[in-house]
Amino acid sequence: MLIAITMLNVVGMTVVLPVLPFVVARYVGDQSQLAMWVGALETVNALCAFLVAPLFGGLSDRYGRRPVIVLAAFGAAVGFATFGVGGSIWVLLAGRVIQGVTAGDMPALFAYAADITRPEDRAKRFGLLGALSGIGFMVGPALGGLLSVVDLDLPVFVTAGIATIVAVLSLFLLPESLRPENRTASLELHTLHPVRVFRTAFSRPDLRGLLLAVVLVGLPFGMFVNNVSVLALDQVHWSATEVGLLTAGVGVLDIVLQGGLMQILLPRIGERGVIIAGVVAQAVGMLALALVASVVAQPWLLIVGTLALGGGQGPATAALDGVVSLQAGDDEQGWVAGVLQSLNTGLNVVAPLLAGVLYTTLTRSTPYWLGFAMVAAAVLLLTRLRFPSPAGQPLSDTVATDALPG
């Protein structure tokens, strides 16, 4: 059930991507404003998910994972159906707001995975979920493109149908994973404010360094995802087809690494080895793309950089998420998953704007040089942190005491 829900969720979120600009174009009088409206809709969507993720995570700790997953799936169906009905740009905006709010079920899904997985196997399980997400990101846009040939609105309504299937499956077939004795005794809403959640999370010595690493790695990756197609067009004069094939290649590599190789490497080199290797690969990829943007505008280097960056991100993030979950108690898994979801969503709000501003106002290479510096800093930080690693050894024994658990 967890596999099915994860796959359906990701396919449901991505099936609309190929048609989004075309749907929006019908309701925008000045077509020169199309990019602005598409960006605004996606920013609002990400912002809503950012604001509610801690709340949904907290609700799952208090009342269980299953009710949150069911509620969010039904809400997503309503959001996508609203978008499909359309009629005006404001109705589209309302649809994206509803869908963004209900995207808060992802913390509950990851907390569910933590509930049913032994601590030493959590990084593997998160890696499997990451591989499934990679498959969904390949299948969703392809399905959306094919359905749009029949009718432009069909992918959106299919997405609403997928969300409904997820809700029904969860309602009737998904057992609750959180035992009553492991639930929080009460839910204090003021503690779930996104800013307060971050303040609380970063104030904990056992989480501070890990969450900082998430920021140092996540922001550059977000800039890459939202800017690499523009870079490919400007520097090596690629078409959308070539960019799409490269993106599909990253998806295939992610599936191989997270779904297969990561399961082999974790017992041998532990979370420490997987995280460090993945982040180093991201640094190499970011450096390659910075060179493409500045001095070596060659397609082969763009391919190498993209594959290194995309290939390193999946395993490193999955292992890092697993280690973060180990620092939380059984009654905090939803909360800490909500923190991670809000943090990643917040980065997704900032990254596109930051990449666009740096790329257009300074130089094309500026986002990538900044990204390389941040990922390199993440490597240095992670080599100094010490945290539990059930599949291997602690990251380091030479670390300041404020990085130790508790």
How far is it, in rounded angstroms, from Cα 337 to Cα 94?
26
CA 68 to chain centre: 19
Lowest-pLDDT range of 59-63, 246-250, 382-386: 246-250
- Please give the pLDDT value at position 396: 40
Q: Which fold has domain 193-400?
A: Growth Hormone; Chain: A; (1.20.1250)
Lowest-pLDDT range of 18-32, 191-205, 250-264, 362-376: 191-205
Whether 33 shows a pLDDT value over 70: the answer reads no
Whether 319 and 275 have beta carbons less than 8 Å apart is answered as yes
pLDDT higher for 97 or 123? 97
Whether 15 and 159 have beta carbons less than 8 Å apart is answered as yes
Q: Do domains 1-174 and 193-400 have the same CATH topology?
A: yes
Whether 93 shows a pLDDT value over 80: the answer reads yes
91 C-beta neighbours (distance < 10 Å), count = 15
Taking alpha carbons only, the member of 126, 107, 103 closest to residue 14 is 103
Q: Work out the pLDDT band at 354, boundaries 50, 70, 90.
A: confident
Q: What percent of the chain has pLDDT over 90?
A: 9
Whether 363 shows a pLDDT value over 50: the answer reads yes
175 C-beta neighbours (distance < 10 Å), count = 9
- Please give the pLDDT value at position 334: 64
Whether 1 and 127 have beta carbons less than 8 Å apart is answered as no
Mean of pLDDT over the chain? 76
How far is it, in rounded angstroms, from Cα 102 to Cα 29?
30
Q: Work out the pLDDT band at 281, boundaries 50, 70, 90.
A: very high
Taking each helix axis from N to C terminus, what angle separates 262-294 and 299-326, rounded to the nearest 10 degrees?
A: 140
Q: What is the 3-state secondary structure (H, E, C) of 250-318?
A: HHHHHHHHHHHHHHHHHHHHHHHHHHHHHHHHHHHHHHHHHHHHHCCCCHHHHHHHHHHHHHHHHHHHH
- Please give the pLDDT value at position 370: 94
Q: What are phi and psi of 104, to 5 degrees?
A: -65, 0
Q: If you search the block for the tokens 């359905």, which residue do you land on?
A: 147
Domain 1-174: give its CATH superfamily. Answer: MFS general substrate transporter like domains (1.20.1250.20)
The full set of domain ranges for the chain reads 1-174, 193-400
- Please give the pLDDT value at position 186: 66
pLDDT, tens only, 128-168: 676 676 677 667 767 777 787 788 888 888 888 888 888 88
Q: Work out the pLDDT band at 375, boundaries 50, 70, 90.
A: very high
